[in-house]
Amino acid sequence: MPQLKESPSQTAGPYVHIGCTPQMAGLEARAMGPQLGERMVLGSPTGDRITLDLHVFDGAGDAVTDALIEIWQPTPQGQFTGDDQFCNWGRQATDLTSGQAVFQTLKPGAPVGQAPHILVWIVARGIGLGLTTRIYFPDEDNADDPVLALAGDRAATLIARKTAGGYAHAVHLQGPSETVFFDV
C-alpha cells in the first residue's frame, strides 16, 4: 500500500467565520442550510446542563477575537455517540469584540479509563496547525487520568473554573501560564 503524506495545514485566517460560522460574517441572508455545531443540546437529554465560557489569550494577554473553537466530548454517560437529544460536537467563534465563546452543553461523564473532559480544538489567524487541548473539571476526581498526569506541573492549565451556571476556562497561547497543547 502506498503511504500518502497528510495534506499540509494552513491558517484558518481572520475570515474563518464565512465558512464555519456564517452568521458572524454577516451572511444571514444566504440561501444555505443551518449553521453547524451551533447547538449541542437539541432536546431534553438526561444530564446536567452547563454553560462553558471560553476565552483565548495571546502572548500579550489580549483576547483573541478571531479564533474558531470546536469542542468534542462524551455524553453524561461517557459515550462518544450522541442522539437526537444531544450532539457531542460544538463549534463557536470567539466574539469579534470581547473574545468570548460560549457553549451550552452537558457536563461530560467519564469515558472508560479517563476522567470527564472535553477536547478543545483552536484555529485562528497566526495559528498554522490547529491546536488541541483539553478541559477537565475542578469538582471531579482527576487523580487517575492518564493524560492529565502527563501534564505534570502544568496540569492546572487544563482545569476549568466553576461558575454559577457551569464552568469558565482561559486558554493562553503563550507566556508564563501557557496552556498545554497536545501532539495527539
Instruction: Cite the DSSP H helix spans in 53-160.
Output: 146-150
CB 85 within 8 A of CB 42: yes
Site for other proteins in 7-36 (CB under 8 A): 7-20, 22, 25-27, 29-34, 36
Residues 60, 39: Cα–Cα separation, whole Å = 32
Site string for other proteins, 63-82 (x = CB under 8 A): -x-x---x-x-x-----x--
Residues 6+ apart with CB under 8 A from 8: none
Q: Which of 69, 86, 88, 169 binds other proteins (CB under 8 A)?
A: 88
CA distances 183 to 70, 131, 147, 150, 171, Å, are: 17, 9, 11, 12, 17
Residue 154 C-beta: closest distance to other proteins, Å: 8
Question: In the chain, what is the greatest distance between 2 CA atoms, to the nearest angstrom?
Answer: 54
Residues 6+ apart with CB under 8 A from 26: none
Q: Which of 1, 6, 7, 13 binds Fe ion (CB under 5 A)?
A: 13
The three grid cell numbers given for residue 55, joined into one nine-digit string? 476565552
82 belongs to the binding site for Fe ion (CB under 5 A): no
Q: Which listed option, Fe ion, other proteins, none, makes contact with residue 60 (CB within 5 to 8 Å by class)?
A: other proteins
Q: Which stretch binds Fe ion (CB under 5 A): 12-20, 61-69, 78-86, 150-158?
A: 12-20
Residue 124 C-beta: closest distance to Fe ion, Å: 13
Q: Which stretch binds other proteins (CB under 8 A): 42-50, 98-106, 150-158, 159-167?
A: 150-158
Residue 122 C-beta: closest distance to other proteins, Å: 10
* 67 beta partners: 124
Question: Which residues would be at the binding site for Fe ion (CB under 5 A)?
Answer: 13
